[in-house]
Structure 1
Amino acid sequence: MVARSLDGTGRINLGQGAVITVQGVGASLSPALGGWIAQWIGYGSTFLLLGGFGLASMGLWLAFGAAVKKY
């Protein structure tokens, strides 16, 4: 999606790097954030909260993925 949306701009590498950076930061912070939230509100609620973030991400991908295909 990044490559398609940035095609012809000369910024594909920058876009891919930004996406990979955000993925790495998320992967690094997720265990600490999950542990902190689990201590605060419990494991079940933590699972639902972080699972909700995953479902929201998938929903955004499904919603905007079709728009990117047009380009």
Structure 2
Amino acid sequence: MGTPALDLSAATWRKSSHSGSTQNDCIEVADGFPGVLPVRDSKDPSGPALVFPAASFAAFLAGVKRGELA
């Protein structure tokens, strides 16, 4: 049985504070969804969003910060 779709129609999206000055090649995340982190491409805001378990996304970011994914 699949996971029910998450309604992101009222989501408030934000870009990373580490985005470049042009902010054209960014991802955006939406806070306020317990246990998950919706992510989308800032160039295609009406396109699909990926929804990650919050703990998994945090582990991914920690690996990036440690240079494990270079």
TM-score calculated relative to the size of structure 2: 0.29
Q: Which has the higher helix share?
A: 1
Quick one: higher RCO (CA 8 Å, sep 6+), 1 or 2? 1
Rg larger in structure: 1
TM-score between the two structures when normalised by the length of structure 1:
0.28
Bigger fraction of residues in strand: 2
